[in-house]
Amino acid sequence: MELRYQGILPEEGTPVHEALAAVRYYTTRDAEEPWLFGYGPVVRGNPYQQLLYRSFGDHGLALTPVTDPWSFAELTHLRGQTRGVVYHLHWLSFVHQGMTSARKAAEQSNRFMAELRRFRKDGGKVIWTMHNMVSHDAAFPQEELRLQQAVAGEVDLIHVMSEDTPEVVREIIDLPAEKVMNSPHPSYLGAYEDYVSRDQARVMMGIESDEIVYVVLGAIKAYKGIERLLDAFDALLATSDAPRRLVVAGKADSDADSVALLDRLRMHPYVLLDDRRIPGDEVQRLLRAADLMVLPHERALNSGGALLGPTFDLPVVASRVGVLPGLLPAEFTEFFSGDSAEETAAALGRADRLLTAEARKASRAFAEEHHSLTVSAQLARTVRERLGLDDDATP
C-alpha cells in the first residue's frame, strides 16, 4: 500500500475524509467521541500551526486541516459522530483572492459570511485569530476591514496574541471584549534543526569572528522595511569603527521596487543576500551566525520573527509597531520608532549593549517561557473552557 499523507493538499473529499480519519483515531484511542477541531487556511511553509495545536489531541480535540478554506462548513456533516464541531479560522486573504474590483471583493465577503452563518446555524462553533490589521498584500484593504468587523461580530471567540491587541486595533476594528481570548504566539523551539555552532555557521558563510552580524529572515516585501534598514545600515557603517554585516534572507516579491532593492542588496559589500525561500534545515545557519535579529516592519500587528530570534538565543532590534512594544522586554530588545533611517541607525548602534551573554540568556528564557508545549496546552484548555466544551454536546 502506498503511503499518503492526509491533509497536505486539497483533493476530492476534502475536508470530510481527513476529519473522519481524525475522529476514528481519537474515538478508538480515548474510547469516547472527541470534539472535531478543524482549522484553515492551512499554511505549510511555517510550522506555526503545528506548534500551536501540538497538544490539542490530549485535550479531546480531534485536529483536522481544512485545505480548501471555502469548505469548512462541510465539517458539520460529522456532528453525529462527534461531541460537536469547532472551526479555527486564521487568515482572511483567501476570501478576496483573484478579485479585480471592490464590488466583486464585497460579493466574496458576503458569500463567506453566509458560509460562516450557515456553519454556526448547523451547530458549529468558530474561533478567529486576528493575525494582522489587514493582509499584507491586500488589494482591497477597506473591504477586508469590513469583512474582519463582520467576522468579529459573528464568531464565538476572537484569539489575540497579546492583551494589547484590542487597544492597538481599536481605531480600525472593534473587538467585542466578551469574545477576546488571549494566547501568545509560541516560540519555535524544536521546530528547526539546531546543531550548528556559531563558529561553524560563520565559517560556512564567510563571516569573520569579530563582525557584528544582523539578520533579517522572511519574505522580502515592502512592508518589511528592508529598504529603510539598508539606509540605516549604511549610516551606521559611516560612523562606526566596528566591522558589521547585514544578512537578508527570504523569497522576494517580483514587483519593480523589490527587484531594485534586490539589486542594491546584492551589490552591497557588507550585505549577504539569499533571495529564496529558506529551507527549514538552513534556518539554523543564518541565525546561529548572527548576533542580532532585526524586525524592521513598517506595519505589523504580530511578528513570528519576534519568537524566532529568541528561539536561537538572539537579542532583537525591532520597529515599535503593533503589539511588539508590550511583548518584547528591554533585557534583550532595542526599539526604534517612525520611518527615519537615522533613528533606525541609532537603534542599531544602541543595540551594541545587547551583545552580551546576559542578553542572549534573557532571549532564550523568553523562548522557553513561550514553548509550544506550554502555549498549546494552555490554549486547548482555554478553548474548552470558553466554548463550554465540557458541558455542551451535539444533540
Same domain, 155 and 240: no
Cα–Cα distance for residue pair 243/237, rounded to 1 Å: 8
Same domain, 149 and 245: no
Q: Is residue 21 within 8 Å of 6, Cβ to Cβ? A: yes
Same domain, 171 and 212: no
For 238-267, the pLDDT digits (tens) are: 999 999 999 999 998 888 888 889 999 999
Query: What integer pLDDT is reported at residue 395 of this predicted model?
Result: 40
Query: What integer pLDDT is reported at residue 219 of this predicted model?
Result: 86
Cα–Cα distance for residue pair 31/21, rounded to 1 Å: 15
Write out the DSSP string of 327-387.
Answer: HS-TTSEEEE-TT-HHHHHHHHHHGGGG-SHHHHHHHHHHHHHT-HHHHHHHHHHHHHHHH
Cα–Cα distance for residue pair 66/73, rounded to 1 Å: 10
Q: Is residue 133 within 8 Å of 149, Cβ to Cβ? A: no
Q: Is residue 191 part of a domain?
A: no
Same domain, 84 and 135: yes
Same domain, 364 and 297: yes
Write out the DSSP string of 270-332.
Answer: TEEEE-SPPPGGGHHHHHHT-SEEEE--SS-S--THHHHHHHTT--EEEES-TTHHHHS-TTS
Of the chain, the percentage scoring pLDDT greater than 70 comes to 96
DSSP 206: T
Longest CA–CA separation in the chain, Å: 72
Q: Is residue 1 part of a domain?
A: no
What is the grid cell recorded at 218? 522572511
- Of 49 and 12, the structure prediction assigns the larger pLDDT to 49
For residue 279, say if its preceding peptide bond is cis, omega within 30 degrees of 0.
no
- Of 7 and 31, the structure prediction assigns the larger pLDDT to 31
Cα–Cα distance for residue pair 97/94, rounded to 1 Å: 5
Same domain, 76 and 104: yes
What is the grid cell recorded at 113? 459570511
Domain that holds residue 100: 16-186+371-387
Domain count, the chain: 2
What is the grid cell recorded at 16? 470530510
pTM, entire model: 0.94
Same domain, 233 and 147: no
Query: What integer pLDDT is reported at residue 392 of this predicted model?
Result: 55
CATH number at residue 350: 3.40.50.2000
Q: Is residue 285 part of a domain?
A: yes
Q: Is residue 2 part of a domain?
A: no
- For the chain, give the mean pLDDT: 94
Q: Is residue 233 part of a domain?
A: yes
Q: Is residue 272 part of a domain?
A: yes
Same domain, 66 and 124: yes
Same domain, 157 and 213: no
Most confident of 76-80, 221-225, 357-361: 357-361
Q: Is residue 302 part of a domain?
A: yes
Which of 106-115, 163-172, 344-353, 384-393 is the least confident region? Answer: 384-393
Q: Is residue 10 part of a domain?
A: no
Cα–Cα distance for residue pair 256/79, rounded to 1 Å: 50
Kindly report the number of other CB atoms within 10 A of residue 255's CB atom: 11
Residue 254, SS3?
coil
Same domain, 141 and 225: no
Same domain, 272 and 236: yes
Same domain, 362 and 376: no
For 119-157, the pLDDT digits (tens) are: 999 999 999 999 999 887 788 999 999 999 999 999 999
Of the chain, the percentage scoring pLDDT greater than 90 comes to 85
Q: Is residue 362 within 8 Å of 333, Cβ to Cβ? A: no
Cα–Cα distance for residue pair 105/54, rounded to 1 Å: 35
